[in-house]
Structure 1
Amino acid sequence: MMNWLEYRKELLGRIGEIGKLSPDTLAGYQTLSGAGKKTGHLDAKTRELIALAVAVTTRCDGCITVHTGEALKHGATREEIAEALGVAVALNAGAALVYSARVMDAVGEHSAAA
């Protein structure tokens, strides 16, 4: 599918270029990214599992490669990763169901107005 390690290397290089052109943008991202570590309420592995589920729901390949490496580094197993991804799948299906209800609501309103 993709050479994830090479992609990660290239991506981080490009992000470094953006950081040189717009250092405050990168610094702001790094502040947001590191904020959860400061509270200590979740361990690093749990944060990375959440990040992987969010990466799937936001369709971010860069997030996938970065957070897969981090999740594994923090001891996440294939099984734990698969379970986190199951949550992402369920939420995507749930979101589609919720937005389907919104469409039907819009259909009702448009029909009543016609």
Structure 2
Amino acid sequence: MLDWKNYRKQLVARIGEIGASSPDTLAGYQTLSKAGNKHNLLGAKTRELIALAVAVTTRCDGCITVHVAEALKHGATQEEITEALGVAVALNAGAAMVYSARVIDAVKSHEAA
């Protein structure tokens, strides 16, 4: 398994290098990242739990290490994180079902041609 804390430090350093070379790119990303804070309707913990579920579905290790730290900082428990991950698992399975239906649709289309 990864050393997640060290990975986070390395990642932040590399992203800092990207920001030095392309400050507008980093600024744009930061604007998007902070957008949910403006009205704070969901609260920081809920946003972090959502971020973790999305991190799993997008397979983003960097997102995982950043948002685990933030979720814990905002009081998320391992049980809450696990429940959010269950949503990610279900969505990935659901997406596979949807795309399976698309395959069957393609089969029917090709057979009809």
TM class by smaller structure: over 0.9
Aligned-residue offset at 1:87: 0.3
The letter for the 1-side match of 2:65 is: T
Query: Cα deviations across residues 12-70 of structure 1 (Å, max 9, x unaligned)?
Result: 10000000000000000000000001022110000000000000000000000000000
Equivalent-residue separation in structure 1 for 2:43 and 2:71 (angstroms): 11
Alignment of 1:43-54 (within 5 A): 43-54=43-54
Which residue pairs with 2:86 in the alignment?
86
Q: Return the TM-score normalized by structure 1.
A: 0.98
Report the 3-state secondary structure (helix = DSSP H, G, I; strand = E; otherwise coil) of the residue aligned with 2:38: helix
Equivalent-residue separation in structure 1 for 2:92 and 2:30 (angstroms): 27
Aligned-residue offset at 1:111: 1.4
Aligned-residue offset at 1:94: 0.4
Which residue pairs with 1:63 in the alignment?
63
Which residue pairs with 1:106 in the alignment?
106
Runs of 4+ with deviation above 6 angstroms: none
- Superposed CA RMSD in Å reads 0.5
Equivalent-residue separation in structure 1 for 2:106 and 2:80 (angstroms): 39
5+ long unaligned stretches in structure 2:
none
Report the 3-state secondary structure (helix = DSSP H, G, I; strand = E; otherwise coil) of the residue aligned with 1:41: coil
Count how many residue pairs are aligned between Structure 1 and Structure 2: 113
Equivalent-residue separation in structure 2 for 1:53 and 1:64 (angstroms): 9
Equivalent-residue separation in structure 1 for 2:27 and 2:20 (angstroms): 11
5+ long unaligned stretches in structure 1:
none
Q: Is 1:32 aligned with 2:32?
A: yes
Which residue pairs with 2:7 in the alignment?
7
Which residue pairs with 2:19 in the alignment?
19
Aligned-residue offset at 1:72: 0.1
Report the 3-state secondary structure (helix = DSSP H, G, I; strand = E; otherwise coil) of the residue aligned with 2:27: helix
